[in-house]
Chain A
Amino acid sequence: MDTLILYILAIAALSVSMVKSRKKTLMAAKKAFKAFEGIMPQFIVVLLLVSASLAVLDNKTISRFIGDGSGTFGVLAASLIGAVTLIPGFVAFPVAAALMKEGAGATQIAAFVSSLMMVGVVTLPMEMKYFGKRAALMRNGLAFVFSLAAALFVGWVVGL
């Protein structure tokens, strides 16, 4: 669904570009390829990291850590799991919804969702390539701490 939107956008933009100037479109295609080739090493590293992390942290394991009655430890675990996994929203939200129905706390779920969205440990190699080590680590560190705060806030609002 997400990917479909991206394709529609890219194809529309490409068509407009083609109509306006064939030469510039060709230039854009060359740039696209060069940029893609440039990120290839980081891309492969990320791919391996994602595969390994999701093999260890499958839905069942995640549910065990952040499920019903996991308490403060569950909030921390939820943030950590969210930080090291790369799961698209359309997969993560239904899992989170099922967990909530089974009695998991909103605070834990919010910690997981927030850090899943903001923090990307396995995609760090790609982020560092464009933003440098310092900015990338800083952004992820701050986002991790912040997602704990966000979780407390969301847990409080849902419990009102």
Chain B
Amino acid sequence: MKAILKRYTGVILTAVAFVVFVAVLPQWRDKALGGIVFQASTMLLVIPPIFVLLGLMDVWVPRDQMIKYMGPGSGCKGPVLAFLLGSFAAGPLYGAFPLAAVLMKKGASLMNILIFIGAWSTTKIPMLMFEISSLGPRFALSRLAIDIVGIIIIALAIKAWIPAREVERLYAEAEKL
């Protein structure tokens, strides 16, 4: 019981803040309350397939294969594969985090994980098609080009700045998945 309470401290605090928010600022009340229902239905719709894929990957993908293709010694195969995985994905960015954790558990390197996250956020093919048709090819393609550069810069920076101990801790956490 105490453990559950501790896990849900954040939820309770946020819920209290939310109640205060709608009570003090009535002009946003209806929208915020309606938003919960709408967002819950979209988010709960996205979540099941993500976690099914997570479970299946965890059970079926062999660790040695993952290390070979996306591990620290995978050369340029790793980043390319990470890019492709992220680009052919669908769904919001928060769906990528649990899947990234499975990749971690299976031995993919931090650099490749960060590239996967970056690709999922900005280079998804289905979204790109849609972006081209609504904002024009010049806009969409230049954004894509500069964001690919950004993904690599951000991944390199995080890899360089995160202490080795923290990385070890994250991999140990992923192990518990």
Contact = CB atoms under 8 A, between A and B. Distances in A.
A89 B91 CA distance: 10
Contacts of A123: 93-94
A132 B170 contact: yes
Interface string B4-44: 00011011001101100100000010011101101110110
Interface stretch (B64-72, B75-83, B126-134): B126-134
Interface stretch (A62-70, A73-81, A133-141): A133-141
Given A51-B39, A114-B147, A100 B98 contact: no
Interface residues of B, number: 76
Contact size class for A? 35 or more
A47 B32 contact: no
A125 B11 CA distance: 10
A42 B98 CA distance: 12
A33 B56 CA distance: 12
A120 B97 CA distance: 12
A131 B96 CA distance: 12
B169 A135 contact: no
A143 B149 CA distance: 12
Contacts of A134: 162, 166
Interface secondary structure of A, over-half rule: helix
B8 A138 contact: no
A45 B90 CA distance: 23
A19 interface: no
Contacts of A146: 150, 153-154
Contacts of B43: 43, 46-47, 50
Interface secondary structure of B, over-half rule: helix
Contact of A44 (B11, B47, B52, B166): B11
B2 interface: no
Contacts of A88: 42, 92
B108 interface: no
B127 to A, nearest CB: 4
B100 interface: yes
A136 to B, nearest CB: 9
Given A90-B130, A110-B139, A127-B97, A33 B51 contact: yes
A125 B49 contact: no
A28 B35 contact: no
Given A9-B90, A118-B147, A139 B154 contact: yes
Name the residue among B17, B39, B58 with the largest chain A CB count within 10 angstroms: B39
Nearest to A97: B134
B117 interface: yes
Nearest to B6: A41
B164 interface: no
B134 A130 contact: no
B54 interface: yes
Given A29-B55, A89-B131, A113-B143, 14 more contacts: A2-B91, A3-B45, A17-B56, A33-B55, A36-B47, A36-B51, A41-B11, A43-B47, A44-B11, A48-B14, A52-B35, A54-B39, A93-B135, A147-B150
5 contacts: A31-B177, A47-B36, A55-B32, A130-B98, A158-B136
